[in-house]
Amino acid sequence: MTESDSSTGERTLAEERWLRLQPTRIGWLGLEWKHFEREIRMAFEEGVERGVLDRRYEFVFEEDAGLPQSTAQAGVEAFSRLVDAGCLGVVGANYTDSAIALAEHANTRRVPLISMCGTDQFHGEYCFRVGNGDVGDEPALIVNWLKRNGHRRVAVVSPWSPIGEEYFRYFRQECRRLGVTIAAAQSVTASTSVPELVAKFEELREVKPDALVWLGYGGLFVSRAVPQALEQLGWDPPRIVTTAFMQYIWGFEPFEGWVGMDQWCPENPRMHTFHRRFVARYGEDPAMWPNAIPGLAYDMAAIVVEGLHRAPILTPEGLKQGIERIRFMPAVTGGPNTHIAGGPYDHQLFKGDWLHYGTVRNGRLEFAGLFEPTDDY
């Protein structure tokens, strides 16, 4: 068979080969992917268009990633179905709880699991983190912000959760290092009511802190409990929150007046080019734009594309090695110096200024600056 001119309607040899080869399967684990399917498909389609991918791809979706919405067993079963379906890698299990529960299974099944979780408890030979935050990095940035803004005596809300305990341990460590005092602390849960929250805030206000710090999940922001409690109490302190801040994707209003850990940065030129390409492809902005999560979803998919390109063989082990071989891959997520790189013992893939500060003013997201070191280092 000779290569034919595709303009005649006949397939070329390259097109015949493309259609003949079985597609590479990638699994997507979690309910959130139905909101960001365009972003992840865009990364793969661009990979095909640029010649980075020379084989068709197929996505397999499982919505139930397990905890916290479902059960750990349900998440394990969903992950196993993706592996049994022949997926070379799985992207998801993005909540801390689900990632912790699945880490040992990814390592046992020897299939890469790429998660945006931020916990230190997600690690191993087949566990890769593309963090939507990090339990150690965020407290370091929060205490840095407190110190630079003259807030030396603070009140803390530490939600009871797997990640809350990690956050508080690192926060206390950084406060000790930079000379910031924890004047009072209160614990909450996902079911804490507005009256209970008012009472806890009132006790914190009584110690007359310089600022209020929230260390943990953002469910009580999304439910409007936090802004309602502060409003009822009439308390408007300087305040800062973890990457729970990025729950603004469901609405900016609950975070009015808060500084938070963010990953959407207008100083990152890669973010602007991503936005332009997305609009050109789909004719509209990503959901709730501007916000960090569409770019993060794209970066996670692009990591798989680049990992497949670098894989010595198209197996789960090959994909793992391919991801470990990525170096200085520019990222949509984070500040202008954010890049993606791995290594055999380095599976925290974001490098550089990948976390920074944002705030919400008058119902709008605003960039609030990159990390700046204090004189203490």
- For residue 289, the domain's CATH number is 3.40.50.2300
Q: Are residues 159 and 116 in the same domain?
A: no
pLDDT of residue 5: 41
Per the domain annotation, does 330 fall within a domain? yes
At 128, is the pLDDT very low, low, confident or very high (cuts 50, 70, 90)? very high
Per the domain annotation, does 297 fall within a domain? yes
Percent of the chain with pLDDT over 70: 97
| 251: nearest Cα among 299, 274, 218, 277 | 218
Q: Are residues 73 and 194 in the same domain?
A: no
Domain count, the chain: 2
Q: Are residues 49 and 72 in the same domain?
A: yes
pLDDT of residue 9: 59
Answer for the pair 298, 306: CB distance below 8 angstroms, yes or no: no
At 20, is the pLDDT very low, low, confident or very high (cuts 50, 70, 90)? confident
Per the domain annotation, does 372 fall within a domain? no
Answer for the pair 201, 225: CB distance below 8 angstroms, yes or no: no
The single-letter code of the amino acid at 231 is E
Answer for the pair 182, 152: CB distance below 8 angstroms, yes or no: no
Per the domain annotation, does 305 fall within a domain? yes
Per the domain annotation, does 374 fall within a domain? no
Compute, in degrees rounded to 10, the torsion defined by CA atoms 279, 282, 284, 289: -70
Assign 303 to helix, strand or coil.
helix
Assign 96 to helix, strand or coil.
helix
Average pLDDT over residues 58-66: 98
Residues 190-225 have pLDDT tens digits of 899 999 999 999 999 999 999 999 998 899 999 999
pLDDT of residue 258: 98
Q: Are residues 120 and 147 in the same domain?
A: no
Per the domain annotation, does 377 fall within a domain? no
Q: Are residues 281 and 311 in the same domain?
A: yes
Range of the domain at 69: 6-133+268-346
pLDDT of residue 14: 66
Q: Are residues 287 and 306 in the same domain?
A: yes
Q: Are residues 196 and 253 in the same domain?
A: yes
- Write out the two tokens for 223: 């439910």
Q: Are residues 69 and 118 in the same domain?
A: yes
| 143: nearest Cα among 99, 106, 181, 97 | 181
pLDDT of residue 251: 93
Kindly report which listed range (4-13, 272-281, 312-321, 334-343) carries the lowest average pLDDT score: 4-13
Provide the mean pLDDT of the chain. 94
Answer for the pair 259, 145: CB distance below 8 angstroms, yes or no: yes
Q: Reply yes or no on whether the pLDDT at 2 is more than 60.
A: no
pLDDT of residue 36: 97
Answer for the pair 127, 106: CB distance below 8 angstroms, yes or no: yes
The CA distance from 248 to 31, in Å, is 18
Answer for the pair 212, 146: CB distance below 8 angstroms, yes or no: no
At 7, is the pLDDT very low, low, confident or very high (cuts 50, 70, 90)? very low
> Which pairs count as long-range contacts for 30-34, CB under 8 Å and 24+ apart, including other chains?
30/62, 30/63, 30/65, 30/92, 30/93, 30/94, 30/95, 30/98, 31/63, 31/64, 31/65, 31/69, 32/92, 32/94, 33/61, 33/63, 33/92, 33/297, 34/61, 34/63
DSSP state of 376: T
Q: Are residues 286 and 362 in the same domain?
A: no
Q: Are residues 230 and 183 in the same domain?
A: yes
pLDDT of residue 162: 83
Per the domain annotation, does 1 fall within a domain? no
pLDDT of residue 3: 32
Q: Reply yes or no on whether the pLDDT at 371 is more than 70.
A: yes
Scanning the structure block, which residue is given the tokens 């493309």? 18
Average pLDDT over residues 347-376: 95
Residues 268-311 have pLDDT tens digits of 999 999 999 999 999 999 988 999 999 999 999 999 999 999 99
The CA distance from 95 to 261, in Å, is 17
Residues 6+ apart with CB under 8 A from 317: 110
pLDDT of residue 357: 98
Q: Reply yes or no on whether the pLDDT at 75 is more than 50.
A: yes
Q: Are residues 257 and 143 in the same domain?
A: yes
Per the domain annotation, does 68 fall within a domain? yes
Q: Are residues 142 and 172 in the same domain?
A: yes
